[in-house]
Amino acid sequence: MNAVVLDHITKTYDAGKVLAVDDVSLQVAAGELFGLIGPDGAGKTSIFRILTTLLLPDKGHAAVNGLDCVKDYKAIRRSVGYMPGRFSLYQDLTVAENLHFFATLFGTTIEANYSLIKDIYEQIKPFSGRRAGKLSGGMKQKLALCCALVHKPEVLFLDEPTTGVDAVSRKEFWEMLKTLKQQGITIVVSTPYMDEAVLCERIALIQDGRIMSVDTPAKVVAAFPVKLYAVKAADIYRLLTSLRGDNSISSCYAFGEYVHVTFRDEAAHDLQAWQQTLAAQGHEQVEVKIISPSIEDSFIRLMQEKQNAQP
């Protein structure tokens, strides 16, 4: 059975003026680690709020563990854990008090499912007497995760848990998710960081309320329809400017130390000849190569295709 089902879900705000979620359908299998990948305003939070029964969809049907998100809201609330994007614990309660409070809400105790949170909680235990509002960002995040897990949920919803978190803490957080997944919990996580997409089993790329692609990260990048070139030179901005003036180029954008390029007619392009052309244009230390696309390349490509398809 699918742990999460969205069936043609649409959600608008402001009496229909703002279309937040536009006819979204997807399924998440039980035990899966599933990622919603997209920028702010893509509709990720609305989807989470519909699935956690905090928001009613305008149209469509949503279910969690076979329970209807509208009719069975009470049963869903007992069986899911939700970590909202904004820190939502009680700032003036201590770490231990917050955890105890959430355990009590769900009619359980911290001890009952301690094995589930043990690894994470032990890291913040030295600060158990500290008020949540006085914790660092990384520790707040760990406490919020513990509170979302204290009643041993079957499905865990994490809305941008790593936003604004540094690269080291982000890596640690994903390690924690892997461990939780091994314990059989279904995890739906959203992130604006495209590099985190590869850490999920399957992902949905979402933009302006619409799903652009749902698949495994490997298949998403394998679906990239053309060859992708990476080029760099000593002055990257000058390189970018001159590539933009080249009519044979279909798209070019900065990507780390390289510029990623796709051609309108790639058969006509020979790497060596291109490198010489660029050098002749006065670019120094030119390097060109063919590369495999990343999720971010795929996301950009899908966005561009969508924009081009619009009138």
Partner 1 sequence: MNDKVIICEELTKRFGDFIAVNHISFDVRKGEIFGFLGANGAGKTTAMRILCGLSFPTSGKATVAGFDVYKQQESIKKNIGYMSQKFSLYENLTVVENIEFFGGVYGLSSAEIRRRSDRLVNKLGLTQEARKLVRSLPLGWKQKLAFSVAIFHDPQIVFLDEPTGGVDPITRRQFWDMIYEAAATGITVFVTTHYMDEAEYCNRITVMVDGKVEALDTPGNLKARYQAASMDEVFYQLARGAKRSAD
Count of residues interacting with partner 1 (CB under 8 A): 35
Assess 209 for contact with partner 1 (CB under 8 A): no
How crowded is residue 305: how many other Cβ atoms within 10 Å of its Cβ? 11
* Most distant CA atoms of the chain, gap in Å: 73
Q: Which H/E stretch holds residue 269?
A: none
Provide the minimum distance between the beta carbon of 285 and partner 1 in the complex, in angstroms, as a whole number: 10
Closer Cβ to partner 1, 226 or 240, answer by number: 240
Ramachandran class of 93: left when φ > 0, alpha when ψ lies in -120 to 50, beta otherwise: beta
Closer Cβ to partner 1, 18 or 29, answer by number: 18
One residue of 93, 106, 131, 192 binding partner 1 per CB under 8 A: 192
How crowded is residue 163: how many other Cβ atoms within 10 Å of its Cβ? 15
Assess 195 for contact with partner 1 (CB under 8 A): yes
For residues 70 and 59, give the distance between their C-alpha atoms in angstroms, rounded to a whole number.
Answer: 11
Site for partner 1 in 102-131 (CB under 8 A): none
Binding mask 53-92 toward partner 1 (x if CB under 8 A, else -) reads ----------------------------------------
Sequence-distant (≥ 6) Cβ neighbours of residue 156 within 8 angstroms: 80, 81, 82, 83, 148, 149, 180, 185, 186, 187, 188
Assess 256 for contact with partner 1 (CB under 8 A): yes
Q: Which H/E stretch holds residue 292?
A: none
- Binding-site ranges for partner 1 (CB under 8 A): 38-42, 136-139, 163-169, 171, 192-195, 207, 236-237, 240, 253-257, 296, 299-300, 303-304
